[in-house]
Amino acid sequence: MKKYSDWFKVDLHIHTDYSKQTKTNDYQGHFDINILKQKLIENDVKLFSLTDHNIINVDAYKNYYENYTDGDPKLLIGCEFDIEVPKSHKTITYHSVIVFENDNFEDVEIISNKIERLYATKGVSKTERKITIDDLYDLFNEHNYFFIPHAGNTKSILDPYIGYDIQLCQQMVLLMPSAFEKVKESVRQTYNEGFDRIKTLDFKDKDDIPYINFSDNHNCNSYPCTNKNGDNHEFYCIKGQPTFESIRFAFIDPKSRIKKFSEVEVLMRFDNFLHSVKFEDNPVIENTTLYFSPNLNTIIGGRSSGKSLLFNILGKKINNNKSQIDKYGLDITNAKVKSFLDDDYKPIINYNTNDIIYINQGDIVNYFENNSLKDLILESGETENYKAALETFKTKKSDLTQLVEKLIELYSELYDVLNSNFTFHDRDITSILDSSYIFKSISDIEDNTDSFQTSAEILNLLTDNTEKFKANENWSFLPEELEVIETFIELVNAKNLLFDEVTKNYSKKIDFITDVKKIITDKNANLDLKGREKEASNTRYTTLNKNISDAFKIAKQVENHCLLVEQLSYGEIQEIKINDEVTVVLEVEKNESIKTKIIEGLSSISSTNLSLYQVLIKLALGEIKIKNLPTNSSDNLAKKTMTQVKGILDLFDKPIEYLKYSEESTSKNNSPGFNSEKYLQTILKSGNSKIIFIDQPEDNLGNRFITDKLIDLLRDLKFKKQIFLITHNPSIVVYGDAENIIMCNNNENTIEYEQYVLEEKEHQKEICTVLDGGQYIFEQRARKYNIKKLIQ
């Protein structure tokens, strides 16, 4: 059993041959519990119930429980009742499956005896057995059970209530732990609208009425098909563990926890998400292996419990340069990680840079504060002398600044591509060579955007300036000259029409390729598991080729730019008085080269004859280091380089030691909370990332934003990206429906990590002790409809 909540097939409506005792010719063939068990295993059903009509097959339950072993499908006690509504004065009944929390033979006998005594008291034959809701309440008031009526077909719960009191029907269903079975897709909207009429405003218009279909099988030999038409049954899945409590959570939150198996297949992940981490022989952390959900993983615990430690260990193990593990002084050599595509554990996993978003606590607010320093713009003074001085140095200073900034920008790309993932897995090769077919994507056409823009500008200039040339008051034209001008204008117009046709055809090609790619993507999404895994492997193969190609392309660009930096010459002197308060001496003297200043900021280099290009290659590969900074990231190189060349840049504009900037900014004019919300929304929705790490996303966020926007965003995003969150907010854990909850404890300086799931009652208690307000959030989640009658 997985340690996190995952999807499993469920079938809570299966008949045995006992149904023939209460319904004539109801069961087809011979029933054998061992045959059914084998069929359930073959179909990977993890939780089921035997639900005969108005009777319980005690022998079948006894046989199953006596021979049950760990790993077998779990059997809950159940029965399908014919329920009548006497007050409606209708003779028709509706069918409802009742599934009990109980899963042992002693309770089978107790429940069966209650049913038999009830019908004996009523004095009816087995084929005429009926029951009322009041009977159910009285009979099973000591038991926990689910009420799952038929709806939208024969024996529907609506039939006895139509024309009598349909609102009573809806209220009754809402007041019980219930779901609808056998509802057609076309009538779900009608059902939802009906229930919305009796829900309070806070709960209206929510897609949270649970619908779930079971096989209603009447012939175990042809399972899962029914005996009526033989159509293939479409299994439904519930998210969680194969338990009664998981069903309860699914009925409370069907949008997140009930799906058809075909929908679950679409959600299956083949990207290289983080699978697990193994701790062995660590002086601080207890030996354990943590398995991660491909969806939402939340890390919770008290103060100094090891939450941030785990967060930073994972950051280090995925080779993310923002990990702050060094501040703990802890040896994590024996901590090993494994990705979805790995066969064994390894010391580190290299992901592509754009695959990971990693945000430490406080980063979101600090981002705006630090970014404002990068966004500052030098202002000019009002005096003519200052303007003259700036004009003198403007070109050279601009050239030098842009040259250095461009060098950092190119190094950023070089660093990212050289530290990308260049590995290819045996599993990918096996998948690519597999006989399963996929639809292969087509290549994009060359991007002509820049070329078209240049051509359009040329044509516009020719059209405008030719007319101005013709009408200029400073010269006149002879007739033959005017004829030449007119001919030229006709030529330009002809080329304009031709260019317009070319751009239209280009747009059509782009649209065609886009449409074809969408079709291919849709088709691949519906292939079998082998086919889609092959597609995922092909995608990774394409990414590998692109990484290699990008490495050579950016390396050539870096080499060419390094030559420009090394060959740059500068030098100028100007003394400028800005105003009475500021006087600047602008003196630029070429006494040091840019190359020398950059290299001085790096650790010792073996050869002084290395070119700047060779130095940057070694830096990106980690063969040399940036002095006094932890990593060779582009941000760190930018800090060091700008520090090194600051003396040279200051010579261009020395009065800029203190200036006030009037900038129409975006982030600085808003509160930290507002900026954090916008930043978080943007970073989460980034289409490139595959895995997201955030330490306490609720910091500086308003509660309304968390409940109104962040929760819905997480619930949608977690099926597309793997998410890791450290949080103290129970709403994020519970309403976000976290698939995996890692509880952190510090037991006498030994860190213990345990995995919890929301649908486990004991885990719920522990979660509530750690998260302030957790008990209230759990209660509110269960009270999703808030009907006034429930309060009364």
Cis amide leading into 242 (omega within 30): no
Across 10-24, 259-273, 484-498, 625-639, least confident range: 625-639
Of the candidates 152, 136, 214, 227, the residue with the CA atom closest to the CA atom of residue 185 = 152
Cis amide leading into 224 (omega within 30): yes
Indicate whether 382 pLDDT > 80: no
pLDDT tens, residue by residue, 669-710:
556 666 677 667 656 765 567 888 988 888 777 777 777 788
CA dist 701 and 343 (Å) reads 40
- Name the residue type at position 567: Q
Residues 6+ apart with CB under 8 A from 279: 285, 286, 287, 288, 289, 290, 334, 335, 753
Taking the alpha carbons at both ends of the chain, their separation in whole angstroms is 42
pLDDT tens, residue by residue, 307-320:
999 999 999 999 88
Residues β-bridged to residue 81 = 96
Indicate whether 76 pLDDT > 60: yes
CA dist 338 and 336 (Å) reads 7
Residues β-bridged to residue 290 = 277
pLDDT attached to residue 52: 95
DSSP 709: I
Q: Which strands form 258-260's sheet, in the order they lie side by side?
A: 145-149, 93-100, 74-84, 45-50, 6-14, 236-240, 258-260
Residues β-bridged to residue 692 = 357, 723
What percent of the chain has a predicted confidence (pLDDT) above 90?
Answer: 29
Asked whether 742 and 763 are in contact (CB, 8 A), the reply is no
pLDDT tens, residue by residue, 201-257:
666 666 678 889 999 999 999 899 764 566 678 899 999 999 999 998 898 888 889
Asked whether 162 and 116 are in contact (CB, 8 A), the reply is no
pLDDT tens, residue by residue, 740-771:
999 999 988 899 999 999 888 888 888 887 77
Across 608-612, 645-649, 711-715, least confident range: 645-649
Burial call 394-432: b when 16+ CB within 10 Å, e when fewer: eebbeebeeebeebeebbbbbbbbbbbbeeebeebeebb
Query: From the centroid of its chain, how far is CA 627?
Result: 37
CA dist 556 and 219 (Å) reads 70
Of the candidates 623, 626, 595, the residue with the CA atom closest to the CA atom of residue 608 = 595
Tell me the average pLDDT across 547-575: 76
> What DSSP assignment string belongs to 644-664?
HHHHHHHHH-TTTTS------
